[in-house]
Structure 1
Amino acid sequence: MSNTYKSAGVDKEEGYKTVDKIKTAVAETHNKNVLKNLGSFGAFYELGKYNNPVLVSGTDGVGTKLKIALDTKKYDSIGIDCFAMCANDILCHGAKPLFFLDYIACGKLDADVAAEIVLGMVNACKDNECALVGGETAEMPGMYQPGDYDVAGFCVGIVEKEDIIDGSKIKVGDQIIALPSSGFHSNGFSLVRKIFPDFNEEFEGKPIHETLLVPTKLYYQDVFKIIKDVEVAGIAHITGGGIIENIPRIIPENLSAQIEISKIKIPSIMLECEKRGNIERMEMFGTFNMGVGMVVVVDPSNVSSVLNLIPDAYEIGTITENSEKIVLIK
């Protein structure tokens, strides 16, 4: 009997099935800038009219949150997570997401699972007015066990050079406003899974995996609503490392973000995680977003405008002079 690719564990037909299940939905994310029929080895995107455009890119994955999805066979939110972790990063510089590509690796491809993951990406792309222009599905028996998947993505956005937001305009007296998270987003799940090993246990009237798998919030609509009307000095996406590690990334030298942690609205699932795991509060703030998915820094005169534009946003701190880039005030 001769050897074939299928006998080695790779089923090309399953890959074709995946494409059939997603191609119509993916095409719905395309706009006039996506050029078709120019070649099958790369995606073509026409920028259009800009004066001095700067491309901003970001790449990320879902991390071990994926383990919960795989164990509970709930895949619909994972694609959203993958897109959001990439797109939310480039939003911090005022960049509009243009296009997105994904990478899915697995031990044995299941077309239904892969399609469900990609369709989550499609929905997220639509929310961000972003085109899903390509991807790769790699079936790698021997590297991954059957049923295992890994998911990563890559997003490219654009901003006029004069409109780049990088924190350099942050000054003493500016106010720090929190945009709430939807939960843990996609960070800290190695610890989360240790604290909550039974994904089917009940929490607040439903299986806890439903709370843990709530997808990462997409901030495109909120951020662009703000920067359209308000001059923003800095934006930070609160990912791994929490506010302790992420806010300092946008703070200029000799300035400090003074954060009043008593003002932060911590989700009940994070309080449960803290209590059950006997985790110190500062460890929580250095690991999870603690309910703050993104912060924007604006002049005090613009605070009311931001709060009117984003009803669930709220103030959590002030910029002061200090050699420490962040100080948490209890």
Structure 2
Amino acid sequence: MSASPENPAGYSIEEGNAASRNAYNWSKKTFQNRKGKPGEPAQDLDGGFSNEIRFGAERLGISSDGIGTKIEVAERLNKYDTLGYDLIAMTADDLIAAGFVPTNLSNIIDVNHLNYDVVDQMMRGLHDAANFSQIAITGGEIAELGNRIGGWPGAKMNFNWCSTAIGVLHPSLAQPLSGKTAQAGHVVVALRSPSFRSNGYSLARKTLHKAFGDNWHEADYDGLDAGEYPTWGDAMLAPSLIYAPGVAALLDAGLPLHGVAHITGGGLADNFQRVLKNGLGAVLDNLFEPLPAMRRLCEIGDITPETAYLYWNMGTGMLLVTEEASAAAVVASLQASGYDAQVAGYLTAESGVTLRVGSGELRYA
């Protein structure tokens, strides 16, 4: 079946992509300001979520992102000590997807009014996530913006949280990973995601509100893994797994990577197509199973597979392109680093991404 769902989440992925391309086009017009000087940006990494800046022989990567509306789940549960994993995952994993090992992070918290205890929980979680990722938090700011910041009315503090991370190009790489060296026949390895990460929450919250009302976060969770999460709020707050250390270990071991896709907003196909250059396509016929919470949301919200695979990661948080001869070693290394990994498919000479999943075959041009 062709994947062209309507827009049940209340926002347009296509319009968002177009706006991002336009914003980046304006940004590129400033690149000449640093041409031949420290901080010169790369000119050939269009389509990714991080970019390269050069300081002499040093080649650094930079990436910015935020947590989005997952913050509302934390506000509803009054639990803030896992959001740091989401914040770092969104930038660190964009960096490692281009071959940059994350090193430093700066963050900004915009609040309606300041609550010391909430900020303490947030920063404790960010500290834990930074230690997991071997990142130093080297900058930040808290800005009180009054009614310019909104959120769940019952929260102790409404806020938005964004960060910028930098990293250094792995010494084994002559250039950032972009997919340009990938070839038909190369193998795709998938990394399992144990959570929604920090994407797709508009559709999830809309579905839960329709099913359970204003206090959906208190509703009993009834997915197949119900013993792990007492409420829907708990299931939706599960933190993002940070993949950067495992991918860095692959590069440390000298294993070949030709492209990496971090599966965020836009789902599997939209994100993977960003690293499919030279007219290549892919068949992904052995992906991880969708998470129980995702399957349950599809049932209670009558959400089609086309829509679910467009807005959610469906249990796969990262895709890596490697050579067939190295695929087993890549999987073994990732598993040794504590990640669930498996061969998920292969690249084709024909463009387009085909997902062969339990609900059928989905094709994305």
Give the TM-score normalised by structure 2. 0.73
Q: How far apart, CA to CA, are the structure 2 residues paired with 1:147 and 1:228? A: 42
Which residue pairs with 1:249 in the alignment? Answer: 274
Which residue pairs with 1:199 in the alignment? Answer: 217
Contact persistence 2:99–2:176 (CA under 8 A): yes
> Quick one: which amino acid aligns to residue 211 of structure 1?
A
In the alignment, structure 2 segments of 5+ residues that lack a partner are 1-54, 151-155, 210-215
SS state at 2:272 partner: helix
Deviation, 1:51, is 8.4
| Equivalent residues in 2 for 1:49-198, closer than 5 Å | 52-145=57-150, 147-159=157-169, 160=171, 162-197=174-209, 198=216
Which residue pairs with 2:342 in the alignment? Answer: 314
Mean CA deviation greater in 56-65 or 308-317:
308-317
1:228 correspondence with 2:249: no
Give the TM-score normalised by structure 1. 0.81
Q: How far apart, CA to CA, are the structure 1 residues paired with 2:267 and 2:321? A: 17
Deviation, 1:253, is 2.2
Alignment equivalent of 1:265, drawn from 289, 301, 305: 289
Q: How far apart, CA to CA, are the structure 2 residues paired with 1:307 and 1:147? A: 42
Q: How far apart, CA to CA, are the structure 1 residues paired with 2:80 and 2:260? A: 30
Misfit runs of 4+, over 3 Å: none
Q: How far apart, CA to CA, are the structure 2 residues paired with 1:225 and 1:187? A: 26
> Quick one: which amino acid aligns to residue 151 of structure 1?
W
The higher radius of gyration belongs to 1
Deviation, 1:228, is 2.0
Deviation, 1:53, is 2.2
| Equivalent residues in 2 for 1:211-222, closer than 5 Å | 211-222=235-246
> Quick one: which amino acid aligns to residue 329 of structure 2?
S
Contact persistence 2:260–2:275 (CA under 8 A): yes
Q: How far apart, CA to CA, are the structure 1 residues paired with 2:346 and 2:83? A: 35
Matched positions, count: 279
The verdict on how the C-alpha distance between 1:208 and 1:142 changes in structure 2, with shifts beyond 3 A counting, is closer
Deviation, 1:321, is 0.7
Deviation, 1:163, is 4.6
> Quick one: which amino acid aligns to residue 345 of structure 2?
G
SS state at 1:199 partner: helix
Q: How far apart, CA to CA, are the structure 2 residues paired with 1:128 and 1:263? A: 25
Q: Cα deviation per residue 1:4-48 (whole Å; 9 max; x = unaligned)?
A: xxxxxxxxxxxxxxxxxxxxxxxxxxxxxxxxxxxxxxxxxxxxx
> Quick one: which amino acid aligns to residue 106 of structure 1?
V
> Quick one: which amino acid aligns to residue 247 of structure 1?
F
Mean CA deviation greater in 154-163 or 304-313:
154-163
Give the alignment's Cα RMSD to 1 decimal.
1.6
Mean CA deviation greater in 221-230 or 105-114:
221-230
1:240 correspondence with 2:265: yes
Which residue pairs with 1:9 in the alignment? Answer: none
> Quick one: which amino acid aligns to residue 315 of structure 1?
V
* Identity rate, percent: 28
Q: Cα deviation per residue 1:45-86 (whole Å; 9 max; x = unaligned)?
A: xxxxx9832111111111111011111101111122111111
Which residue pairs with 2:324 in the alignment? Answer: 300
> Quick one: which amino acid aligns to residue 89 of structure 2?
A
Deviation, 1:231, is 0.8
Deviation, 1:210, is 1.6
Q: How far apart, CA to CA, are the structure 1 residues paired with 2:136 and 2:119? A: 18
Mean CA deviation greater in 224-233 or 102-111:
224-233
> Quick one: which amino acid aligns to residue 355 of structure 2?
L
In the alignment, structure 1 segments of 5+ residues that lack a partner are 1-49
Deviation, 1:254, is 1.6
